[in-house]
Amino acid sequence: RDARSTRGNARETAEWVAAHRIASLIVGTSVYHMRRALWELRRTLPDSVALHPAPLLPHLPDGHGKVPLRLLAAEYAKWLGAMAGLSAWVAREEEAAAPPAPTSRGSG
């Protein structure tokens, strides 16, 4: 919920999976984003967690169902960056900007 990047989302998902002992996930995201989302999830999740992609077609304002080339090009560039390990830099920036986690205080 607090992630500001795909890699941050994958990290949060990995924590949730570990806390709840999840063995498989349905990954729902836009069809053009699926490859990068799966890549980042695979980096953070144990190999034992099965991923089941459920690509979604975005609602597009043109009404034709075609993803704009500019959006596809941007996603492709981000995917190449993720493959090169550049998304780790974004994740570090995200962690540095994150507010401190709330602490639980006992009553006595």
Per-residue pLDDT tens for 10-48?
A: 999 999 999 999 999 999 998 889 999 999 999 999 999
| The pLDDT value given to residue 103 | 40
- Residues near 51 by Cβ (< 8 Å), separated by ≥ 6? 24, 25, 27, 38, 41, 42, 45
| The pLDDT value given to residue 99 | 52
**Does residue 96 register a pLDDT over 50?**
yes
- Mean pLDDT of all residues in the chain? 81
